[in-house]
Structure formats: structure tokens, C-alpha cells
Amino acid sequence: MSKIIDVTMPSLGADMTEGTLVEWQAKPGDTLNKGDIIALLETQKGMIDMEVYQQGVITELLLEPVVSVPVGTVMARMSVAGEAARPAAPEASYPVAQAAAIKSPPVTSDQSQQTVIPQPNRPRQGLLASPVVRKLAAEQQLDLSRLSGSGPEGAILLRDLPANGPEANAAGSPDPAQAMRSAIAAAMAKSKREIPHYYLSLEIDITRAQRWLADFNAERGPEERILLLALLLKAVARSLHKYPALNGYYQQQTFTPNSAIHIGNVISLREGGLVVPAIHDVDQLSVEEIMVRLRDMSERSRRGVLRSSELLDASITVSNMGERGSDLLFGVIYPPQVAIIGIGKPRKTMLIKDDQPELAEVVTVSLAADHRVSDGMTGARFLNALANKLQKPEKL
Amino acid sequence: MNRDELQQAVIEAIQVVAPEIEGDEIDADEALREECDLDSMDYLHFLAALKQSTAINVPDADYGRVDTLNKLLDYLQQAGSQ
């Protein structure tokens, strides 16, 4: 027994309203497993590999790339096993997508008909470009055939266009940096409007952690070294077990703790803006494995291709500014999460231990958390637990 | 490798992580990571690329000795001649 399900344009954040199908990565008749990639999308958050959320066979592809459609638009259909059939798009563990899907206008038949009409004005055969790119190119009188595209089969993407002049911005053109800035602004404004934040910080002695890292890295080449962040993430994940009120999602006046610990990592992009892909089940990974994920993620963020699940389901966020950052970071919670941890820059200082001054290396870790879900004492206990974990780096 | 070739290798390794950087934009006596806006992950990727092209490994403990382009080139020349 099998049944047909819809595969829809996913929402990769409460602020995303539409996405562009750049290319199908599968065809009718293909069997896909959960997590396989069905399409390449271009969104405000950059290029995304869109995954499917259950196993099945593609029966129909309903859109012809390159086309922009609202979140929730049916893009394809799949035949899945009947008994196990669940909703096509992100299930219960992906609340961000659900929240946004509810918020976004329902797709009427009129709209969906519009969206499947192929772009009428393809300038010439073999030249691929998204509608946004075509619109901008027309406004700026650019000859697309003279640009080289960095997308699949040379498709011209927003990032391939020359920087927009001030005229273009004045005319309200959606240049990519501005699109990402708007997306960040929408999420952060919602957070500041709705979430009663409280803020705490604790100076944590990382002398032992740094010594452990120096020992670990001493004999290793750069491709095998571990950064302090990997150790910190592991310590955060392990400390969170006892503080479920900091790890989960607040939606429709209800907090739901998440049993899994998916940590979103703030990655600043060179061209401005940021993305926050998640590492899944951080508490289950070794420090080395966390470092492998971090490397992979930073490389893919730079090339601009992240996976849809990475942007969907972080249950808490860590923002690490590193050595070039500030001493203390006051985070803004990314809804529907309920906490964000900020890591300041490591610095050397004198600590008093057993009434004796001692040279030590410290980092100030901050917590911004949601007062609808937890109180300051909970947050403070969490920070102290984290500090304790970091005194035994070899056990992480 | 002579110093010019090493400099070329360094610039190419930087461009792996920071494609927009041009060699002549870098002040050779200023902090390299600041000049090229490299965070610690970028820096690791850069050192890995440099190790591939020059076969020279800059250990963790030597980061302080290679923090400008000129110091890095001195270091690589010395390591290469050993």
C-alpha cells in the first residue's frame, strides 16, 4: 500500500517567504531516502540543498527551474509507503517550518498556476538565470550572456552579478546582501518584540582546556587540528542535558523541550550577513567529530551550499566571535528557540587561586534566555555546570 | 622555492579561503589575519592549503612567529632550506 504525498517549498526560518528552484537533482522514477537531495534552491540564506524527509519514489516534478515560488508551494509529488506515511515537509521536530507555513498565505490554485508557468522570456537557449537575476539584469541593462555563472550548469545567480550601484538600491532592487539583511532583521525584530530576554555572563577559566588543545594539536597538521570552539560546543551540549528549559522551541504559547541537542552555529559570511547552520546531536559526537562538522560547515557556507535540515531545526544557538571578537556578547535569541550562548574572546589574566595570583586564560560566556520558559537561576546554574565541564577537557 | 614563489604560494592559499584578496592589498608588516580578515577556521584552512603546496607544516605553537606576511615568508624560507 502506498500513497502520494506533496513535496513543498520548505521554510528555512520564520522569516522566509519564498524560495527559488534552481535545479532538480532527481527525476521522476528516482527512489530517494530520507535526507537525500531532491533540488537546489536559492534563498535569502544562500544556496540550499533541499532534502526529502521520507523515503519514496518521485512521481511528478511540477515546477520547471528556474522559478521562484512562495513557501508551501507544491513542487513535486512522491509515492511513499502507506502505513508509515507522514506529512511530506518537515515533521513535528521541525517547528520553524511549521510556524512559517502557518504564517505564509495559503497557496491558492491561481497562485500555483502562476508559479508553474515557465519563465516566458528566457533570453537564449542554454543561459540559466533566476527570475531575480533577470529582473536586476534588465534594470541595470546588463548582458547576462557576458557574465559567468557559478550555479549548476553555469546558472547565473545573484552572487554573480556585479555589485549593485546606488541607483539600483534606491529603486528597491533586492540585492543579495540586502535580502539577507532583511531576513536577519525580520527574525531579530520578532525576537526583540516577543521574547522577554534575560542576560547572564560568567568568566570561565579555560587554562586547562587550552593546554589540552595545545597538546592535542602539537603533533598534528592543520587539517587535523581542533579549535577551542569544538571543545566548547561539546561542553555546552553535555551541560544542557540537565537544563532542558534552555533547549527547545517556544510556539503558540507553549514550550516544547527538544530531546536532541542540535546546536546552531553563527557563521559570518565574508561578503556580510550570517548563516546559522546546525550540528545535530552534538552531545553524541566526539570533539574530533564536532570539529569535522565545523570544518565542513564553514567550507560549505563559504561556497554557499548548506542543507535544508541544517537551517531548520537548531534547538539552541552558539555565537562564537573567536580571538578577534569582543570580551562579552549580548545575544538575541533566534525564535522559536529559547536561548543563545555567546562566547567572548579568550584572554590571559591573573586569577586568584588559593589566595595566590596565577596566570590564567579565561573566556566570558554569556547566556540570553527566554523568561517565559526559565529563570535566571536556571541559566546561572547552567553556566556554572559548563565551567565545571571545561575543567576536565580530557573527559569531554 | 625562492621568496617570490613562496609569496605566490601564500597568496594562493589565502585565496582558497578569501577569494577576493589580492596579493598587493596585503601590508606585509601588518597582522596577516587582520589584513585578510581570517577567523580561526579560515586560518586552519589557509595553513592546510599552504602545507599542500609547500609541504611545510606550521605547528600550532609557531603561530606567533608567522603573524605577518614577511614573518611567514621568513619562516617558510628557513623551514624550506632545512
Q: Could you report the per-residue pLDDT of A351-371, keeping only the tens digit for each?
A: 999 999 999 999 999 999 999
Contacts of B42 in chain A (CB under 8 A): 298
Of residues A349 and B23, more confidence is placed in: A349
What is the structure's pLDDT at A187?
87
| Residues of chain B found within 8 Å of residue A324, distances taken between Cβ atoms | 33-34, 39
Give Cα A391 distance to the centre of its chain: 30
DSSP string, chain B: --HHHHHHHHHHHHHHH-TT--GGGS-TTSBHHHHHT--HHHHHHHHHHHHHHH-----GGGGGGGSBHHHHHHHHHHHHT-
Contact yes or no for A227 and B20 at CB 8 A: no
Write down the residue that cell numbers 561556497 correspond to: A303
Question: Is the Cβ pair B40, A322 closer than 8 Å?
Answer: yes
What is the number of CB-based contacts under 8 A between chain A and chain B?
47
Residue A70 has pLDDT above 70, yes or no: yes
Chain A touched by B20 (CB under 8 Å): yes
Rounded to a whole number of angstroms, the distance between the first and last alpha carbons of chain B is 12
pLDDT in tens, B1-49: 899 999 999 999 999 998 889 888 899 999 999 999 899 999 999 999 9
Q: Which three cell numbers stand for residue B33?
A: 589575519
Share of chain A above pLDDT 70, in %: 76
* Residue A52 vs residues A11, A36, A395: alpha-carbon distances, Å: 13, 6, 37
Residue A235 near residue B76, CB atoms below 8 Å: no
Q: Is B74 part of the contact surface with chain A (CB cutoff 8 Å)?
A: no
- Listed range (A30-34, A140-144, A182-186, B78-82) with the worst mean pLDDT: A140-144
Partner A contacted by B57 (CB < 8 A): yes
State how far the Cα of A224 lies from the Cα of A230, in Å rounded to an integer: 12
Partner residue facing A227 (CB), from B44, B48, B59: B44
Contact A295 B57 (CB under 8 A): no
Q: Give contacts of B39 with chain A, Cβ < 8 Å.
A: 268, 322, 324
Confidence check: pLDDT of A112 > 90? no
What is the three-class DSSP state of A239?
helix
Q: Does residue A243 carry a pLDDT above 60?
A: yes
What's the pLDDT band for A15 if we cut at 50, 70, 90?
low
Q: Looking at beta carbons, which residues of chain B come within 8 Å of A298?
A: 41-42, 45
Residue A244 has pLDDT above 50, yes or no: yes
Interchain CB distance below 8 Å, B57 and A324: no
Cα(B34)–Cα(B31) distance, rounded to whole angstroms? 5
Across the interface, do A225 and B60 touch by the CB < 8 Å criterion? yes
- Supply the angle between the helices B3-17 and B40-54 in degrees, to the nearest 10: 140
Cα dihedral B26, A181, A340, A230, rounded to 10, equals: -40
Is A98 a residue whose pLDDT tops 60?
no
